Amino acid sequence: MSLRLKPLHPVFVAEASGIDISQPLSAEDVQAIERAMDQYAVLVWRGQALTGQQQIDFTRAFGPLDLGLKKVFKRPERLEDEHLIDISNVDAEGKVAARNSPKNLSNFANQLWHSDSSFQDPRATYSMLHAMVLPTWGGTTEFADLRDAYDTLPERTRAEVEDISAEHYALHTRLLLGDDAYTDEQKKAIPPAVWPLVQTHPGSGRKLLFVGVHARQVIGWPTAESRMYLADLLEHATQRERVYSHSWQVNDLVMWDNRCTLHRGRRYDIAERRELRRTTVEDVPSVQRVAETA
């Protein structure tokens, strides 16, 4: 069988089928999926009853795994493998997490528009999110295409953003949500990363506007001015016509390219269970990437 794609949105996102992603992939399958990701940036696979190990194996076909903030927070978790990121409101004992738990804080941070791990270098390429248990209302996940955001910038802004870089900081979302109880050791463990606002997506060759809520400062600008500027660009990037909203079904696996999309979770009743598992692929460090393309 070969990869089949059905577009789900006018500018990006396709439903993918025709390849059994629970089994080891051939080199041709990997390439076909990568080409589809270059074009669509988000692929939706339905009806994938994957074990944690199968999800890890599928993810590893695209590169080494990234653990994001897990290596900093080192909180006890319930999932069997440290490479699985527990995107749920369930605590280490398997109970629905307390309303004011760190678990829910992370989930609320995920409800702000972001690109996974943009606060670190190497950052993330693909993330894969697999649905296990879903609440009865809400809890959709939305995606926005940053290449379309760039293409639709007003001309004046497009010229302006060309030579600007922004600092992305892991704890910025937490601080925004009123959580500031971090030790100096934790803060030092995650130095900010700096990324140009305008980048070229390696797979599609398209330019994109790299914004998101982790971006807290335009390099060289006063803070208030840079925060408003970044907020304006983020608002542009996430206009409704650029957004795909995913209504989850159990055993969906959605994969997205963090280098050219943003995503956010939507509200649900946190007294109900919502359990998804994430795996993420680590990019090559930017110094190495620049050296390779020079």
Residues in 104-143 at the binding interface with Mn ion, rule: CB under 5 A: 116
Which is closer to ligand OGA, CB of 174 or CB of 263?
263
Q: How far is the CB of 71 from Mn ion (least distance, A)?
A: 16
Q: How far is the CB of 223 from ligand OGA (least distance, A)?
A: 26
Q: Which residues pair with 208 in a beta bridge?
A: 199
Find out whether 91 and 98 touch, Cβ atoms under 8 Å.
Answer: yes
Which is closer to ligand OGA, CB of 110 or CB of 152?
110
Which is closer to ligand OGA, CB of 125 or CB of 226?
125
Which is closer to ligand OGA, CB of 131 or CB of 198?
131
When CB distances are held under 5 to 8 angstroms depending on the partner's kind, the choice from Mn ion, ligand OGA, none that residue 141 binds is ligand OGA
Which is closer to ligand OGA, CB of 147 or CB of 264?
264
Which is closer to Mn ion, CB of 91 or CB of 116?
116
Question: CA 160 to CA 251: how far, in whole Å?
Answer: 43
Residues 278, 279, 284, 285: is their CA dihedral positive or negative?
Answer: positive
When CB distances are held under 5 to 8 angstroms depending on the partner's kind, the choice from Mn ion, ligand OGA, none that residue 265 binds is ligand OGA
When CB distances are held under 5 to 8 angstroms depending on the partner's kind, the choice from Mn ion, ligand OGA, none that residue 129 binds is ligand OGA
Which candidate, 149, 142, 190, places its Cα nearest to that of 167? 190
86 lines the binding site for Mn ion (CB under 5 A): no
Question: CA 212 to CA 234: how far, in whole Å?
Answer: 6
Q: How far is the CB of 159 from Mn ion (least distance, A)?
A: 31
Residues in 269-288 at the binding interface with ligand OGA, rule: CB under 6 A: 276, 278
Residues in 65-94 at the binding interface with ligand OGA, rule: CB under 6 A: 87
Q: How far is the CB of 205 from ligand OGA (least distance, A)?
A: 26
Query: Which one of 48, 120, 125, 141 is in contact with ligand OGA (CB under 6 A)?
Result: 141
Which is closer to ligand OGA, CB of 192 or CB of 265?
265
Query: Which one of 116, 257, 275, 282 is in contact with ligand OGA (CB under 6 A)?
Result: 116
110 lines the binding site for ligand OGA (CB under 6 A): yes
* Binding interface with Mn ion (CB under 5 A): 116
* Binding interface with ligand OGA (CB under 6 A): 87, 110, 116, 127, 129, 141, 263, 265, 276, 278
